[in-house]
Structure 1
Amino acid sequence: MKTYAFGVDLGGTTVKLGLFRTDSTLIEKWEIVTRTENHGEHLLPDIAQSIHEKMLEKSISLDEVAGVGMGVPGAVLHDSYVKPCVNLDQWGGEIAAQLSALCHDLPVKIVNDANAAALGEMANGSGKGYKNLVMITLGTGVGGAVIVDGKLIAGVHGAGGEIGHIKVAEPGDDVCGCGKSGCLERFSSATGVVLRAKKLLEDDSISSKMNSFDPLTCKDVIDCAKEGDEAAMQVVDLMTRMLGKALAMVSCVADPEVVVIGGGVSRAGSIITDGIRKYFLQYAFPATEDTRFVLAELGNDAGIYGAVQMVLA
């Protein structure tokens, strides 16, 4: 009888792992260090060893395990093939087959990490009860995922849900990590917010509390905005306007019931959600104006909750 499953969230610094029951109940979670050297040659052996050690500790047999689901920071094709991941030293390939072989042929399915977070929120977080949702993650970059009728939209190239690279501004000399310009990520990620604030503060005539921070962080900018600092409020207003604009575009294609907003920046709360909703209503097609906006609930656990759904769904 299949009683257990493992969820894995592979990040650039740590690998988060979770042991679940097949009813999606989390039994235990833990972390190991991500070793990316030599094109990530240690990643899969380290993950397999950690899973094996947990099975020994809990006296779990192979026959009791439904499989392993893993989220990765890159594009994924056919739940198995991972395109080279920049922040994992170009690690990639037929990852599902390789990890399965290391785990004594347990079934393995792979998913993009933002997609995993969306699946997790749909199964156990603020997206529970919805089958049509969009998730946007606001951190160092801007990630995203689209779920329609309970199914992820990954696309032919694994690029479905790459909301951060929607063009919300005309091309210019501000080049995104993708090589293009005008991307949402350059305005609404933590990195983008700091960039916009620093550009604004280049004008010596502008007085702002943001000038007192060295280094300046996205949290500093948002905290200053909450305190009524006009320059910081201008930066946050631009951030949420671009998010509202991009999500209005997405709504014309995916028409979600709810947009789940996650990532570290989302912890700022209503100043983000209220701003997004305000501008979404300005840009959105009227039929989608009742789309809900909610904050993610699972935090750093969303990835393992979503990854395990790949083998439990």
Structure 2
Amino acid sequence: MADTRYVCSVDIGGTKIASAIMEYPADGSRPYPVYSAEIPTNPSEGGEVVYSRIEGAIREALASDPDRKVIGVGVAAAGVVDPKTGSIAYANEIMPGWSGIELGPRLREALGMPVAVVGDVQAHGLGEAHWGVGRDRYSVLCLGIGTGIGGAYVEDGRVMRGFHGAAGHMGHIESTSAQGIPCACGRSGHLESVSSGTSIGRMFEERYGRVDESRPTVGRDVNDLCRQGDERAISVIHEAGFALGASLGSLANILDPEVIVLSGGVIHQGPDWRSETWKTSVAEGYASQALDPLLETPILIGELEGDAPLIGAAEHLLASL
């Protein structure tokens, strides 16, 4: 029987930085956090400030139990991560000043221990494929839907990263429904502009005004109205779900995954994406584009929730040792 192992994991997003010490039990069962914490990212303060928060969060996690032997740090980072160095090669306007931060090299030098950095949604896909709803599946296509939309493709336990580390930016696939709509990446016409939680709130507000005049409309507001039978909200949710499903169909035609997994903050913490309006719309969109042999590919809801990127980051660290 293997010894119990401990890995420090960090998940860096546009809203929060989550840190954890993940325990890998000696009996080979699913890893779980024995320490966890969250702090705001506050990305508008710039990349250097965010880096300082990350290093501080890691040091606090490592100090939570000095007797615990942690073998390294796995980091799931927003932006495009250079697969050779672990530096941030590119980040859009959601993380100003994040591009160019030498995240992996600086953490390795500061902490004096192994550090492995992977994209946040790539880590999410690894977590679900290794220990979540995609466990024991040969290939998993995972989409994380939150402030934006990212994705990952895991085959035979390995996540596709691409030459530049940019593989998995599936929110930036062209979408007919998003034609002419600006995207956070600086282009237009991308799926993220119509199917993310942010976009659903924006679409409703542009067409019908704010749900609450005191604040911007968010996806949760629209879904609440949808559950109440509001035809305006139903139309927006249907459009967003159909667009997502159509893009999933196109991606399935290219990758042919055994299963498709939907996860991320919007799925688990925001609107009830298990609603019949949403599920039906996604299924209709998928059927409109997927090839006949792929029509029965299961579309599943991830089961690890916020632990998925933390587990995936740990898995990536372990694979690098």
Bin of the TM-score, shorter chain as denominator length: 0.7 to 0.9
**Alignment match of 2:130 (pick from 95, 112, 123):** 123
Q: 2:270 aligned with 1:269, yes or no?
A: no
User: What's the TM-score, normalizing by structure 2?
Assistant: 0.84
Match of residue 100 from structure 1: 108
**Rounded Cα–Cα distance in structure 1 between residues aligned with 2:64 and 2:179:** 56
Match of residue 23 from structure 2: 21
Q: 2:168 aligned with 1:164, yes or no?
A: no
Match of residue 184 from structure 2: 177
Q: Could you tell me how far 1:53 is from its partner in structure 2?
A: 4.2
Q: 2:310 aligned with 1:311, yes or no?
A: no
Q: Could you tell me how far 1:84 is from its partner in structure 2?
A: 3.8
Q: Could you tell me how far 1:174 is from its partner in structure 2?
A: 2.2
Say if 2:161 and 2:168, in contact at 8 Å, map to a contact too. Answer: yes
Q: 2:292 aligned with 1:286, yes or no?
A: yes
Per-residue Cα deviation, 1:131-188 (whole angstroms, up to 9, x for no partner) = 3111112222112111122211121222211111111128854221222222111111
Amino acid at match of 2:212: F
Unaligned segments of structure 2, at least 5 residues: 26-30
Q: 1:43 to 1:225 in 2, by over 3 A?
A: closer
**Rounded Cα–Cα distance in structure 1 between residues aligned with 2:315 and 2:155:** 16
Q: Could you tell me how far 1:113 is from its partner in structure 2?
A: 0.9
Q: 1:45 to 1:258 in 2, by over 3 A?
A: same
Q: 1:212 to 1:171 in 2, by over 3 A?
A: closer
Greater shift after overlay, 189-198 or 178-187? 189-198
Say if 1:269 and 1:295, in contact at 8 Å, map to a contact too. Answer: no
- Structure with higher Rg: it is 1
Q: Could you tell me how far 1:251 is from its partner in structure 2?
A: 0.4
Matches within 5 A, 1:142-157: 142-157=149-164
Match of residue 207 from structure 1: none
Q: Look up the SS of the partner of 1:176 in the other structure.
A: coil
**Rounded Cα–Cα distance in structure 1 between residues aligned with 2:178 and 2:207:** 19
**Rounded Cα–Cα distance in structure 2 between residues aligned with 1:212 and 1:121:** 35
Q: CA RMSD in A?
A: 2.5
Per-residue Cα deviation, 1:259-313 (whole angstroms, up to 9, x for no partner) = 1112233241323233212321232111111211111222222221111111123
Q: 2:76 aligned with 1:74, yes or no?
A: no
Q: Look up the SS of the partner of 2:204 in the other structure.
A: helix
Higher-RCO chain (CA-CA 8 Å, sequence separation at least 6) = 1
Q: Could you tell me how far 1:73 is from its partner in structure 2?
A: 0.8
Identity across matched positions, percent: 30
Q: Look up the SS of the partner of 1:277 in the other structure.
A: helix
Q: Could you tell me how far 1:35 is from its partner in structure 2?
A: 6.2
Greater shift after overlay, 50-59 or 65-74? 50-59
Say if 1:84 and 1:90, in contact at 8 Å, map to a contact too. Answer: no
**Rounded Cα–Cα distance in structure 2 between residues aligned with 1:260 and 1:99:** 31
Say if 1:2 and 1:65, in contact at 8 Å, map to a contact too. Answer: no
Match of residue 190 from structure 1: 197
Match of residue 232 from structure 1: 233
Q: 1:189 to 1:2 in 2, by over 3 A?
A: same
Match of residue 219 from structure 2: 218
Q: Could you tell me how far 1:14 is from its partner in structure 2?
A: 3.1
User: What's the TM-score, normalizing by structure 1?
Assistant: 0.86
